[in-house]
Copies of this chain bind each other. A is one copy, B any other.
């Protein structure tokens, strides 16, 4: 069996820890592993670092960005998700998402540059805007990001500035729903809110963002309108399927949901193409529950294993397999040092114990032994010293408005 793995990037990225890169706790290499190194011992796997620009389901080919066409017998598409601005793509330059390493580095650059500007600037009013950090979206990503941001500005850099007291910096988390972590049971949401507030995060629920500009964010809560001067906004309010989903939907006539995800058959194939499979954040799978499965790593991993077995069955002519069934083992989100929430079946965990569970699970799933060891050393270090050593401003370092320099992704979203 010959397997060709095509990826735009040459590494596997452990996305759940991107917020650590964005806040200087870890470097990019600690949460990414080169694909070639992972599959070195499997000579039947060929890796191509390339972008798929077209798919021909009848001729069974994919076309790469350089025009090369590759034939396939079975096609598995798992290109993930990108940030969803729900029609307000013009906000993207002022509120980067947290989906790629470049996103995380850009957020890190903006946060640290804002602190640097605050140290130099003379107007107290402007300084206040540079010291106001807003995270939009109270799902796990937004909660983790807001908690880590609060630790960074209120604790890590506490003694490092002379012109202002970092503890006066504001970190706000805006969530449209009535509570954060909506998929979690209500007591865990409440615990998360309290933990965030203890870290100094201002949690504002029921907040609908109306406008994001280079120097403020405008939102409403009920009938009231608020204008908040800020120079740093992070977007964690939603994701949609990667652009490849639209290509695939078009050429296979597959319906998609509002997030651009392809509605897949019970065996994760496309309804009219039993040899094309879609898994992970690009798949809308709702055969058990009505509601589609969430875009989380355990779903994607179980789907990957299922499709591997399914293809082996199709090749060897084994009997039919039962439809894909997701075994939910639990959910967890970290809020900060010693604070997390976890749900495993009917059991709820909070605080220190949930934090240890979170740490253990995330270290277990970091790909590659060395990464795990290094990340553990760094976390232990961060934990005991409250330091974050990867606080590097890379790229343009000293401009007044960090927003004018965008990453290539943001200049021309693909």
Contact = CB atoms under 8 A, between A and B. Distances in A.
Given A36-B160, A49-B119, A371 B393 contact: no
A374 B49 CA distance: 30
Nearest to A117: B49
A47 B119 contact: yes
A359 B149 CA distance: 36
Given A49-B119, A120-B48, A37 B391 contact: yes
Task: Report, as a range, how many residues of chain A touch the other chain.
Answer: 35 or more
A392 interface: yes
Interface stretch (A26-34, A90-98, A233-241, A329-337): A26-34
A46 interface: yes
A272 interface: no
Interface stretch (A75-83, A250-258, A318-326, A395-403): A395-403
A403 to B, nearest CB: 15
Contacts of A40: 159-160
A159 B41 contact: yes
Contact of A374 (B112, B374, B408): B374
Interface in A356-401: 368, 370-371, 373-374, 377-378, 381, 385, 387, 389-398, 400
A379 to B, nearest CB: 12
A215 interface: no
A47 B163 CA distance: 10
Given A27-B27, A120-B50, A389-B37, A370 B374 contact: no
Nearest to A48: B120
Nearest to A64: B120
A41 to B, nearest CB: 7
A309 interface: no
Contacts of A400: 66
Given A37-B160, A48-B119, A395 B408 contact: yes
Interface of A: 8-11, 24, 27-30, 32-34, 36-37, 40-41, 43, 46-51, 64-66, 68, 101-102, 105, 112-113, 116, 119-120, 157, 159-163, 368, 370-371, 373-374, 377-378, 381, 385, 387, 389-398, 400, 405, 408
29 contacts: A9-B393, A9-B397, A10-B112, A10-B392, A10-B393, A11-B391, A11-B393, A28-B390, A33-B389, A34-B391, A34-B392, A36-B160, A36-B161, A37-B160, A40-B159, A41-B159, A43-B162, A47-B160, A48-B119, A48-B120, A49-B113, A50-B120, A51-B398, A64-B120, A68-B120, A368-B389, A370-B381, A374-B374, A374-B378
